[in-house]
Structure 1
Amino acid sequence: MNADERRFEVLRAIVADYVSNQEPVGSKALVERHNLGVSSATVRNDMAVLEDEGFIAQPHTSAGRVPTDKGYRLFVDRLSEIKPLSPAERRAIKSFLEGALDLDDVMRRSVRLLAQLTRQVAVIQVPTLSRSTVRHLEVLPISPSRLMLVLITDTGRVDQRIVELGDVITEDNVHQLRATLNAAMAGKRLPDASARVAELPEEVPNELRDVTLRIATVLIETLVDHPEERYVLGGTANLTRNVADFPGSLRQVLEALEEQVIVLKLLAASRDPGTVLVRIGEENEAAEMRSTSVVSIGYGSRDNLLGGLGVVGPTRMDYPGTMAAVRAVANYVGEILTSR
């Protein structure tokens, strides 16, 4: 083992001890607790080099050392592979998420599960409408001159709208409308379905033109993406467990997590369902989040990215375990939503 590799083993041992004990780590403890195969003096020298290079630092009040953001970054970059969750953990995740009733329930369950698995704050972006495809449009008469439209997308999203017709409609006409609308919209991405619906009033028989125009107006409003993207957040109280991890900044972090723009930016970089992204401390764009680390990933499939999910916690976190949990939950959420 060359000197660089040995120093990395020392750094890895410091990260492991500090994450589990919250105490700055001294050379004596490292030699006692880890099979480093070298003397205390060598470990002390290695720690001095790691400190000079900015990978570890000495808190003022202690003889021990703690990892810096740069030290955590090297540790994360050198994780050759993410330790997968055990089969039992994966089964538990799958059965818990498969019990969800609809899209909102999938989102709530995912966040609750991720917050429990990682003991951090979990956040998931609700799939944006523009990425969804129309599965079916149900047209239901609720009175002779009123219809209910029920739009169902491939992500399990259900939108209901009432259309006032201003005139009485026959059952045959309802059947005809249902068939025409589904032929025009089914299987199309929502923006394309919206464009197609706008053309329909010109194409239907005269007696259906007025009612089709009214339906098209309501549908276009439903299909056009709402600019306020939604997300679900859970486990905020987990941050308050270790206030010492956020010296003077916990309140700032909690306030930042209430800001929609900041939270959506945390997930914005997660564009790949195959890659777990880790941003540590100063790497976070928002100044309020620079005492935290964000572990995130995209969910869905490579062809149909539905959104991002991830966790926010202190820089002193169990990176391998957190990365494994984030990836596993994303896999199952993507699987459930794309197979529905």
Structure 2
Amino acid sequence: MRNVETKNQILKYIVDEYVSNSKPVGSVYLINKYKMNISSATARNIMVILEKENLIEKSHTSSGRIPTPKGYEYYAKYLTINEEDKLASKIKDIFASRRSSIDNIIDEAVSIISEASKLTLVTSENKNDELLKSITLTPISNEIAIIVLITSSGKVDTKELKLSKRLNLDDLKIAIRIFQERLHNVKLVDIPKSIESLKPILKQHIKNYEELIQTFVIGVFQNYKNIANNKIYGKSHLIKSQDIKRQELANIIELIENQSIWESINEKNYLDENLKLEILPSNTSIISKRLLLNGSVKDVSVIGPTRMDYSKAKNLLNIIEKYAKENLKNNVDIEEE
């Protein structure tokens, strides 16, 4: 038992140090800083074990160790401590004020947390009931057209379509007219299936109708399978991070702007019932909390570099959940009096 505790302690110190300083961590440094009652040889042996378990790895630039994605995940699951930090009382006051709806209060709290913690946070409301209200076409050239979609929430979305030589603008105009007539008020998530059902009609008017269907399903409507209404706070913290791979940043931004972050995380990545963690190859980590609030669902996510402070991120999400539920309970009690 003692060995397990010491091993966990060393791993926690390594992650804490690397998150704070972005420098490889050596055994002597840990013993001196944290006044550990073990020899440097014992510390090195434990670090070898952690390395064999793929929780840490040797740095290329020194003899120190740095955490692996598996190490970060283990740290986030088992080694973080849920302590209320200095933001807790401020967040509590926001929720206690009951100045507006619970959704607006959560957004206000998240905005303050992002500014104070220098973390990127996202609130999400699933929009699986979003309907298509309008679809129009603007030709740019014989090979390129812009499709403009208007949804039931008033959102205007533009998509660029590149046409193959087998498709032309006349075919596209016919398809748009049919879609406008037949897909009006259809849920966005159901449109790919609905387009498939239009095959007999499209076949009558368009020679290469199957290629056109694929072009629309993949190029226009594919991303609506996981659509969400996201509000982003502190996006600049993510953009300025030197740890996140620049070539992957556009994909991350697209995810947090348009997709349900909770749904994008694999089901196997639960930390607990309503908390998920994903560590991406882009050196980015996502921790997402699902809030179940009197029948409604709202997700709050923290996005940052892999060496983010997981303890702080989890703590902030737990604070939001705690005071949101207290707010709802207090409001119910007031209504019943």
The aligned residue for residue 15 of structure 2 is 15
The aligned residue for residue 323 of structure 2 is 332
Equivalent residue letter for 2:291: Y
One of 276, 279, 297 as aligned partner of 2:277:
279
TM-score with structure 2 setting the length: 0.59
Structure 2 unaligned runs (5+)?
Answer: 130-152, 154-225, 333-337
Alpha-carbon distance, 1:258 to partner: 5.0
Q: 1:50-96 CA deviation, whole Å, 9 max, x = no partner?
A: 112211012322221111111122222223x742315x633310223
Equivalent residue letter for 1:239: L
Quick check: which has more Rg, 1 or 2?
A: 1
Residue 304 (structure 1) aligned with residue 302 (structure 2) = no
Equivalent residue letter for 1:9: Q
**Aligned partners of 2:104 and 2:328: how far apart in 1?**
12
Compared CA separation, residues 314 and 17, structure 1 to 2 (3 A) = same
The aligned residue for residue 82 of structure 2 is 83
Alpha-carbon distance, 1:318 to partner: 1.4
Equivalent residue letter for 1:84: E
Q: 1:197-252 CA deviation, whole Å, 9 max, x = no partner?
A: xxxxxxxxxxxxxxxxxxxxxxxxxxxxxx96422111111124431x22444523
Alpha-carbon distance, 1:305 to partner: 4.2
Report matched runs for 1:55-74 at 5 Å. 55-74=55-74
Residue 320 (structure 1) aligned with residue 311 (structure 2) = yes
The aligned residue for residue 233 of structure 2 is 234
Compared CA separation, residues 320 and 14, structure 1 to 2 (3 A) = same
What secondary structure sits across from 1:230 in the alignment? Answer: strand
Alpha-carbon distance, 1:253 to partner: 5.0
Alpha-carbon distance, 1:105 to partner: 3.5
CA contact (8 A) 2:238 2:304 kept: yes
**Count of paired positions:** 233
**Aligned partners of 1:299 and 1:247: how far apart in 2?**
30
**Aligned partners of 1:54 and 1:129: how far apart in 2?**
39
Residue 295 (structure 1) aligned with residue 287 (structure 2) = yes
Q: 1:120-157 CA deviation, whole Å, 9 max, x = no partner?
A: 21111237698xxxxxxxxxxxxxxxxxxxxxxxxxxx
Report matched runs for 1:152-167 at 5 Å. none
Compared CA separation, residues 325 and 117, structure 1 to 2 (3 A) = farther
Q: 1:148-192 CA deviation, whole Å, 9 max, x = no partner?
A: xxxxxxxxxxx9xxxxxxxxxxxxxxxxxxxxxxxxxxxxxxxxx
Alpha-carbon distance, 1:20 to partner: 1.5
**Aligned partners of 1:91 and 1:331: how far apart in 2?**
12
Q: Percent identity?
A: 27
Residue 115 (structure 1) aligned with residue 114 (structure 2) = yes
The aligned residue for residue 52 of structure 2 is 52
